[in-house]
Chain A
Amino acid sequence: MSAVRWLVALPFLGILVGTAFVNRVEPLVLGMPFVLAWIVGWVVVGAAAMALVYALDPVNRGPDGEETGGQP
Chain B
Amino acid sequence: MNAALVVIGLVTLGALALGVAARRGLRMTLEQWTVAGRAFGAPLVFLLTAGEIYTTFTFLGGSGWAYGRGAPTFYILAYGSLAYFMSYWLLPPIWRYAKRERLLSQSHFFARKYDSPWLGVLVAVVGVVALVPYLVLQFQGLGIIVSVASYGAISPAWAIWIGAATVTIYVMISGMHGVAWNAAAKDVLILAVVVFLGAYLPLRYYGGFGEMFHAIDAAKPGFLAFKPTGQSILWFQSTVILTALGFFMWPHAFSAILTSRRERTFRLNAALLPLYQLILLFAFFCGFAAILQVPGLSGPQADQALLRLSIQTFDPWFVGVIGAAGVLTALVPGSIILISAATLVANDVIRPLRPDLSDSVVATTARALVPVFALIAVYFTLEGGQTLVALLLMGYAFVTQLFPALVCSLLPRNPLTKYGAAAGIVVGVVVVAFVSQTKVGFADLLPFLPSRIGDVNVGFAALILNALAAALVSGATRRAPAVAAEPSP
Residue ranges of A at the interface with B (Cβ–Cβ < 8 Å)? 8, 11-12, 15-16, 19-20, 23-26, 28, 30-33, 35-36, 39-40, 42-44, 46-47, 50-51, 53-54, 57, 59-60, 64-65, 67
Cross-interface CB contact of B88 among A30, A53, A65, cutoff 8 Å: A53
B270 to chain A, nearest CB (A): 5
Contact with A along B225-258 (1 / 0, CB 8 A): 1100000010011001100000000000000000
Please, how many angstroms separate the alpha-carbon atoms of A47 and B273 in the complex? Answer: 8
Known: A12-B82, A47-B275. A33 touches B213 (CB 8 A): yes
Known: A50-B270, A54-B271. A24 touches B85 (CB 8 A): no
Q: Are B209 and A31 in contact (CB under 8 A)?
A: yes
Please, how many angstroms separate the alpha-carbon atoms of A49 and B141 in the complex? Answer: 36
Dominant secondary structure at the B interface: helix
Give chain B's interface residue range (CB within 8 Å of chain A).
35 or more
B170 interface residue (CB < 8 Å to A) = no
Cross-interface CB contact of A31 among B81, B210, B225, cutoff 8 Å: B210
Known: A20-B237, A40-B281, A47-B274. A11 touches B85 (CB 8 A): yes
Please, how many angstroms separate the alpha-carbon atoms of A27 and B29 in the complex? Answer: 58
Q: Are B74 and A35 in contact (CB under 8 A)?
A: yes
A25 to chain B, nearest CB (A): 5
B465 interface residue (CB < 8 Å to A) = no
Q: Are A16 and B237 in contact (CB under 8 A)?
A: yes
Q: Are A11 and B81 in contact (CB under 8 A)?
A: yes
Known: A23-B233, A35-B225. A28 touches B213 (CB 8 A): yes
**Which residues on A sit within 8 Å (CB–CB) of B267?**
54, 57, 59-60
Cross-interface CB contact of B264 among A24, A25, A67, cutoff 8 Å: A67
CB neighbors of A among B272-322 (8 A): 272, 274-275, 277-278, 281, 284
Known: A8-B85, A11-B82. A16 touches B263 (CB 8 A): no
| Minimum CB distance partner of B238 in chain A | A16
Contact with A along B90-132 (1 / 0, CB 8 A): 0010001000000000000000000000000000000000000
Known: A25-B224, A28-B213, A35-B71. A46 touches B264 (CB 8 A): no
B122 to chain A, nearest CB (A): 30
Q: Are B270 and A31 in contact (CB under 8 A)?
A: no
Please, how many angstroms separate the alpha-carbon atoms of A8 and B267 in the complex? Answer: 13
Q: Are B274 and A50 in contact (CB under 8 A)?
A: yes
Q: Are B209 and A50 in contact (CB under 8 A)?
A: no
The 6 A-B pairs of least Cβ separation, nearest first, read: A31-B209, A50-B271, A31-B210, A51-B271, A33-B224, A47-B274
B357 interface residue (CB < 8 Å to A) = no
A43 to chain B, nearest CB (A): 4
Q: Are A33 and B274 in contact (CB under 8 A)?
A: no
Q: Are B77 and A39 in contact (CB under 8 A)?
A: yes
Known: A8-B85, A15-B240, A24-B225. A30 touches B274 (CB 8 A): no
| Minimum CB distance partner of B234 in chain A | A20
Please, how many angstroms separate the alpha-carbon atoms of A64 and B274 in the complex? Answer: 24
Please, how many angstroms separate the alpha-carbon atoms of A11 and B402 in the complex? Answer: 24
Q: Are A32 and B213 in contact (CB under 8 A)?
A: yes
**Which residues on B sit within 8 Å (CB–CB) of A35?**
71, 74, 224-226
Show 16 A/B contacts (Cβ-Cβ < 8 Å), sorted by A: A11-B82, A11-B85, A15-B81, A25-B224, A31-B213, A32-B209, A33-B224, A36-B77, A36-B224, A36-B281, A43-B274, A43-B277, A43-B278, A50-B85, A50-B88, A60-B268
B415 to chain A, nearest CB (A): 23
Please, how many angstroms separate the alpha-carbon atoms of A23 and B92 in the complex? Answer: 36
Q: Are B82 and A15 in contact (CB under 8 A)?
A: yes
Q: Are B225 and A23 in contact (CB under 8 A)?
A: yes
Known: A28-B214, A33-B213, A57-B267. A46 touches B233 (CB 8 A): no
**Which residues on A sit within 8 Å (CB–CB) of B327?**
none
CB neighbors of A among B22-51 (8 A): none
B208 interface residue (CB < 8 Å to A) = yes
Q: Are A54 and B268 in contact (CB under 8 A)?
A: yes
B262 interface residue (CB < 8 Å to A) = yes
Cross-interface CB contact of B225 among A33, A51, A65, cutoff 8 Å: A33
Please, how many angstroms separate the alpha-carbon atoms of A36 and B285 in the complex? Answer: 12
B387 to chain A, nearest CB (A): 20
A29 to chain B, nearest CB (A): 9
B217 interface residue (CB < 8 Å to A) = yes
Please, how many angstroms separate the alpha-carbon atoms of A54 and B264 in the complex? Answer: 9
Known: A31-B208, A47-B274. A19 touches B233 (CB 8 A): yes
B467 interface residue (CB < 8 Å to A) = no
**Which residues on B sit within 8 Å (CB–CB) of A36?**
71, 74, 77, 224, 281, 284
